[in-house]
Amino acid sequence: MNKPLQIVMTPVRNEAWVLPAFLTATSQWTDYIIIADQMSTDGSRELYEQFPTVVVIDNTNPNFNESERQTMLIAKAREVAAGRDTLLWGLDADEILAANTFGTNDWKRIITSKPGDVFYFKWAELSSNKKTYGDSVFYPWLFHDDGKEPHQNYVRNMHSMRIPYPIEEKQIYYVKDFRILHLAYLNPARIESKCRFYQFVDWSMNHRDPVSLSRNYSYNKKLETQIITNDMLAYDNFDLWDKVNCTNIKFWFDDYIIIRIANSNIKDVAKLDIWTKDFIKLVNISDPRSWIIKILHWYLRKTSKFKSLLIIRGIDKILKKIKL
């Protein structure tokens, strides 16, 4: 029985900090890596040239839209597959298969799956201490392509479905033998900037309230729950830590926000829980928040670890109804 073609679909915008790890690890097992590059300026494009498995398409939309970029990726992947039996992976640049993936029962199940099958995975969210990781829920990141399923189920402008998820679910598998290593939290400053970016974009695109946004994107994950084992990082011919650069302290996420603040009502933007001392300095303006908004943000940050408690949820519900 012939093995299906493996195609990884990845959106990129200034991911040079982690691309050497992603491209090196992923090119060892996949046939093609389709990258939708959104005008990267940090050296990402130069890195693609080092890997013959990479196929690059240009995403020239300066704005954030996940459904649009995934539609581009899926269309290109199917073009490259040209009707062949294909596994479509939706992976970000900071996500790589753990080194102990191959040879597991779940990997064999993936290789022998049938068109229409969907596979769910868990992250191992690596801590910046490089010793521990946090757990996650399951996410659907692999579809054994049937060549016809449209990309329209669970599609949104943010946190959209990465694969052509079947409208009529067939066989679903939950992969437990290995993890997807999530490298985002290796750089705490970057993830803080990214969470700030998500708040701003979700607010500007979907008009969600500041309390809900703060709760959704607060940076308080527990990353010390499990130990990183040697076999998770035992890649052939390279050391994962040598391929990741966590020294950057300036990120495109903040540039994106700052450019758009100039065209926004600053009183509305002030309500978003994004105003740290460092970000205020970066924007180069005086703190735009009223004292009431400052108290709200203080409350949201102090209670972020307890947001699931009934009393906190009750207070949050009241705050959402108040026009600040």
The CATH number that domain 5-184 falls under is 3.90.550.10
Q: Is the pLDDT of residue 164 over 90?
A: yes
pLDDT at 277: 95
Record the pTM.
0.94
What is the rounded distance in angstroms from the CA atom of residue 272 to the CA atom of residue 249? 22
Q: Is the pLDDT of residue 242 over 80?
A: yes
What is the rounded distance in angstroms from the CA atom of residue 86 to the CA atom of residue 74? 12
pLDDT at 311: 96
Confidence of residue 245 (pLDDT cuts 50, 70, 90): very high
Q: Is the pLDDT of residue 296 over 70?
A: yes
Q: Is the pLDDT of residue 9 over 80?
A: yes
Helices (H), the chain: 19-26, 44-48, 66-81, 105-111, 188-206, 210-217, 252-261, 266-269, 277-283, 291-302, 310-321
Q: Is the pLDDT of residue 175 over 80?
A: yes
pLDDT at 275: 97
pLDDT at 170: 76
- Hey, where are the domains in the chain? 5-184, 187-218+250-321
Q: Could you tell me the CA-to-CA distances from 42 to 111, 124, 196, 232, 241 in Å, in that order?
A: 35, 27, 20, 29, 20
pLDDT at 60: 96
What is the rounded distance in angstroms from the CA atom of residue 207 to the CA atom of residue 308? 23
Look at 112-116, 151-155, 230-234 and tell me which has the smallest mean pLDDT: 151-155
Q: Is the pLDDT of residue 197 over 80?
A: yes
- Average pLDDT of the segment spanning 264-292: 95
- Average pLDDT of the segment spanning 226-243: 94
- The proportion of the chain whose per-residue pLDDT surpasses 90, expressed as a percent, equals 85
Q: Is the pLDDT of residue 276 over 80?
A: yes
Question: Looking at this protein, which amino acid is placed at residue 261?
Answer: I
What is the rounded distance in angstroms from the CA atom of residue 125 to the CA atom of residue 133? 5
- Average pLDDT of the segment spanning 225-239: 93
pLDDT at 1: 62
pLDDT at 2: 83
Q: Is the pLDDT of residue 44 over 80?
A: yes
What is the rounded distance in angstroms from the CA atom of residue 39 to the CA atom of residue 59? 7
Q: Is the pLDDT of residue 267 over 70?
A: yes
Parallel, antiparallel, or unpaired: how do β-strands 226-227 and 132-134 relate? antiparallel
Q: Is the pLDDT of residue 295 over 90?
A: yes
pLDDT at 76: 98
Largest CA distance in the chain: 67
- Average pLDDT of the segment spanning 262-284: 94
CA end-to-end span of the chain: 63
**Residue pLDDT, tens place only, 94-109:** 999 999 999 999 999 9
